[in-house]
């Protein structure tokens, strides 16, 4: 896996010229998660866990949150978040303004293939790996550079967020997670079974399935993990959204009903859907826990990027996925396209609602005049 220096022209689905980029997040080994801070805190650990595993778990689960905290910090200081390179976590910035993300072999392999795929314009540019101190990092394009007061939304794609192996593993080797039990109870004290309450722990597979079925993941093929507004405020109270109507409400909130931004996102997703049809990578990979990152700023630059490939794995020889059908155990289908279609439909709805709102307010202004 060599260093890649070639830069690609980035495409912004906006009436404005190209400018930005964006970063992402995710745990070293996996997934995305905008772990937006709110009532649902991530930093819950069980008593008796060893310090090393606590630290690892902390680093992993806090990755996106760490990143957002860094952005928040830099926004408050009106400076570049490059200043924050020294912060601990899964990310660092390198001299060139790249983002360094803790190395994960699965993700590095995906990014390497993606740089030669039809999806390249939708993925942060990958520049190989670098070692810093004891750790190896993946060098990624900093997709937030050039944006002022960015507004960000992370949507975790697919009808499930766990790999088939995670289910099989849970059947043969039961590892109980008290941190996940605590997260579960915080959201819904009645969710754990009597047995789980007794153990004060659940398996990871059980937790991930619970998250999927209590959010729009299972039904709409994606869920909103969180939103960061331009003032740096972070919200992640969207995980219990189940209907498209509620997603559309969240879209309108996220974009403040700005038509040009909604349209830019809509056309970017249509372009992504075309690229996915031509992507060998997409046909031959099970895409789990990957996110679409929506980013815009006050100047109406808006784009969407595919991020987080830590749980995206190649399929066995000759197997190809359709991505647009529900999952049945063993099929490896991920439902990525179900999620993409839901998002496109939601954006269409948001566009027509925002248009009507605009027409109404124009009408009101005229009658006042
Ligand atoms: C986390 C989320 C992550 C998952 C993480 C969960 O839950 O499901 O995707 O990491 O597992 O804790 P939540 O968003 O509800 O806080 P993976 O994608 O790597 O499975 P982890 O704690 O084992 O990292």
Task: Count Cβ atoms within 10 A of the Cβ of residue 131 and give its class: 0-12 exposed, 13-18 middle, 19 or more buried.
Answer: exposed
pLDDT (0 to 100) of residue 235:
86
Structure tokens at 309: 């490939």
Residue 261 CA to ligand 1 center (angstroms) comes to 30
Does the 17-159+221-363 domain belong in CATH 3.30.470.160? yes
* 92 beta partners: 100
Residue nearest to atom 19 of ligand 1 (CA): 30
Specify the pLDDT at position 144.
Answer: 80
Does the structure show a pLDDT above 90 at 299?
Answer: no
Task: Name the residue of 27, 63, 210, 240 whose CB sits within 8 Å of the most ligand 1 atoms, as the mutation to test its pocket.
Answer: 27
As a whole number of angstroms, the distance between CA 135 and CA 89 comes to: 11
**DSSP at 258:** -
Overall size of the chain counted in residues: 369
What's the CA-to-centroid distance between 104 and ligand 1, angstroms?
15
Q: Work out the pLDDT band at 142, boundaries 50, 70, 90.
A: confident
Residue 43's pLDDT band (cuts 50, 70, 90):
very low
**Is the pLDDT score of 7 beyond 90?**
no
Phi and psi for 110 in degrees, rounded to 5? -60, -50
Residue from 154, 166, 208, 311 whose mutation best tests the ligand 1 pocket (most atoms within 8 A of CB):
208
Task: Break the chain into its structural domains and give their ranges.
Answer: 17-159+221-363, 166-208
* pLDDT: which is higher, 94 or 189: 189
Question: Rounded to the nearest whole angstrom, what is the distance from the C-alpha of residue 239 to the centroid of ligand 1?
Answer: 13
* pLDDT for residue 118 is more than 90: yes
Closest of 332, 319, 344 to residue 287, by C-alpha: 332
* Closest by Cα among 60, 35, 65 to 226: 35
Looking at per-residue pLDDT, the higher value among 283 and 58 belongs to 283
| 3-class secondary-structure state, position 248 | helix
**Per residue in 236-274, pLDDT tens?**
889 899 999 999 999 999 999 999 999 999 999 999 999
pLDDT at position 366 is 72
Residue 333's CB is within 10 A of a number of other CB atoms, namely: 20
**Could you tell me the pTM of the whole model?**
0.80
Which value, in Å, is the radius of gyration of the alpha carbons in the chain? 20
How far away, in angstroms, is 27 Cα from ligand 1 center? 9
């Amino acid at each position: 896996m060599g260093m890649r220096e070639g830069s690609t022209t980035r495409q912004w689905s906006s009436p404005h010229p190209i400018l930005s980029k964006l970063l992402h997040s995710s745990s070293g080994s996996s997934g995305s998660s905008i772990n937006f801070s709110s009532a649902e805190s991530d930093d819950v650990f069980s008593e008796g866990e060893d310090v090393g595993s606590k630290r690892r778990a902390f680093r992993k689960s806090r990755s996106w949150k760490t990143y957002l905290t860094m952005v928040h910090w830099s926004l408050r200081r009106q400076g570049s978040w490059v200043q924050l390179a020294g912060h601990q976590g899964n990310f660092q910035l390198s001299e060139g303004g790249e983002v360094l993300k803790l190395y994960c072999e699965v993700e590095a392999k995906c990014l390497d293939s993606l740089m030669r795929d039809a999806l390249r314009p939708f993925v942060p540019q990958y520049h190989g790996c670098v070692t810093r101190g004891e750790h190896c990092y993946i060098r990624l394009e900093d997709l937030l550079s050039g944006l002022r007061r960015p507004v960000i939304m992370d949507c975790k794609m697919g009808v499930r967020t766990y790999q088939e192996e995670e289910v099989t593993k849970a059947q043969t080797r039961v590892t109980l997670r008290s941190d996940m039990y605590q997260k579960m109870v915080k959201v819904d004290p009645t969710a754990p079974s009597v047995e789980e309450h007794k153990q004060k722990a659940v398996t990871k597979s059980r937790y991930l399935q619970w998250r999927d079925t209590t959010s729009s993941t299972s039904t709409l093929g994606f869920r909103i993990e969180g939103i960061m507004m331009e003032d740096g405020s972070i919200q992640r109270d969207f995980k219990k959204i189940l209907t498209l109507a509620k997603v559309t409400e969240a879209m309108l909130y996220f974009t403040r009903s700005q038509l040009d931004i909604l349209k830019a996102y809509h056309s970017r997703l249509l372009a992504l859907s075309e690229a996915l049809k031509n992507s060998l990578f997409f046909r031959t990979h099970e895409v789990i826990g990957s996110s679409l990152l929506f980013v815009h700023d006050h100047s109406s630059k808006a784009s969407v990027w595919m991020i987080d490939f830590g749980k995206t794995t190649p399929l066995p020889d000759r197997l190809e996925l359709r991505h647009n059908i529900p999952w049945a155990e063993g099929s490896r289908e991920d439902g990525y396209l179900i999620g993409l279609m839901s998002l496109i439909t939601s954006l269409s709805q948001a566009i027509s609602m925002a248009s009507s709102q605009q027409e109404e307010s124009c009408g009101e202004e005229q009658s006042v005049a």
